[in-house]
Amino acid sequence: MFRIIPAVDIKDGKCVQLRQGKEDDIIFESDDPVNVAEAWVERGAKILHVVDLSGSFKGRLVHEDLILKISELAEVQVGGGIRSIEVAKRLLDLGVERVIVGTMAIEMSDDVKSLADEYPERVMVAIDSRNGKVVVKGWKENTCLSPLEVMRMYSDFDVSFLFTNVDVEGLMKGIDENAIKLVVDAANRPVIVSGGITGIEDVKKVKNAGAAGVVIGSALYTGKLRLEDVLPLEED
């Protein structure tokens, strides 16, 4: 089933939305991430996409307490600052449905593969792409790997993928449909898409491309898109 997944990004204890992932370019801010998460669940969200942005920038998980509170409200997939297998396992054991690993998936691939064997269907490999190459460490460092090369690394493992097109992330100018199709068509595992979602037509294009779901952030928080308008696409 296709899933609509609101984003709950946490920075310095607050729920925020950033433009292009830049720390100082905040386009939305709320003091209580748990209340924000609860509101999305009350409005019908089945899954939440929770990112510890502070953790992403600092290289270690910062907001574990808030993450675990949110995990009690709904199914959650959590990323940002998960840079050790021990932290990933702890989150999974404490009730997080899926952990999202990006930097670790590149730099510690053998460990991540072992984690995927131990927790099937509960490891999500983040593929953050800028100019056709995967970026890591809070999108601050470039790699020489393409999204398809990273997917091939995990093709024999029971993982899912989170494809974020950094080139359009937070700009609310629409998606890059061709980039999404390229990744989804090449994947042999479920792909969740993030980045650039602006209106309902973008969501429909992501679904039609064959993705398993879509993460929506800025468009929901700025009112360009209403959750109630896109949730019916889960059932179509």
Alpha helices in the chain (DSSP H): 33-42, 53-58, 64-71, 85-93, 103-107, 109-118, 147-153, 177-186, 200-208, 218-221, 227-230
Give me the pLDDT at residue 199, please: 94
Triad 224, 226, 232: Cα angle to 5°: 135
Give domain status of residue 79, yes or no. yes
What's the pLDDT tens digit per position in 15-39? 998 876 677 777 878 899 999 999 9
Tokens at 217, concatenated: 């952030």
Cα(164)–Cα(181) distance, rounded to whole angstroms? 13
* 231 secondary structure, DSSP code: G
CA distances from 140 to 18, 23, 57, 102, 130 (A): 14, 11, 9, 12, 10
Q: Are the C-beta atoms of residues 213 and 233 closer than 8 Å to each other?
A: no
Give me the pLDDT at residue 28, please: 79
Q: Which domain holds residue 153?
A: 3-229
Work out the average pLDDT over 92-100. 97
Work out the average pLDDT over 213-228. 95
Give domain status of residue 86, yes or no. yes
Give domain status of residue 186, yes or no. yes
Using the predicted structure, report yes or no on whether residue 77 has a pLDDT greater than 90.
Answer: yes
Give domain status of residue 199, yes or no. yes
Give domain status of residue 56, yes or no. yes
Active site residue 9: yes
Give me the pLDDT at residue 87, please: 97
Cα(69)–Cα(34) distance, rounded to whole angstroms? 7
Using the predicted structure, report yes or no on whether residue 151 has a pLDDT greater than 80.
Answer: yes
Give me the pLDDT at residue 216, please: 96
Q: CATH no. for residue 66?
A: 3.20.20.70
Tell me which residue has tokens 């290289």: 59
When comparing pLDDT for 206 and 140, which is higher?
A: 206
Give domain status of residue 46, yes or no. yes
Cα(134)–Cα(128) distance, rounded to whole angstroms? 5
Work out the average pLDDT over 169-178. 80
Work out the average pLDDT over 183-203. 95
Give me the pLDDT at residue 21, please: 66
Out of 12, 117, 128, 156, the active site residue is 128
Cα(151)–Cα(135) distance, rounded to whole angstroms? 14
Q: How many domains does the chain have?
A: 1
Q: What is the mean pLDDT of the chain?
A: 93
Cα(147)–Cα(57) distance, rounded to whole angstroms? 22
Give domain status of residue 84, yes or no. yes
Reference 183, options 228, 234, 149; nearest CA is 149
Give domain status of residue 236, yes or no. no
- pTM score > 0.75 for this model? yes
Tell me which residue has tokens 């179509």: 236
pLDDT band for position 166 (50/70/90)?
confident
Give me the pLDDT at residue 212, please: 98
What's the pLDDT tens digit per position in 109-130? 999 999 999 999 999 999 999 9
| Single-letter residue type at 134 | V
Out of 9, 24, 52, 176, the active site residue is 9
CA distances from 108 to 53, 104, 134 (A): 21, 5, 15
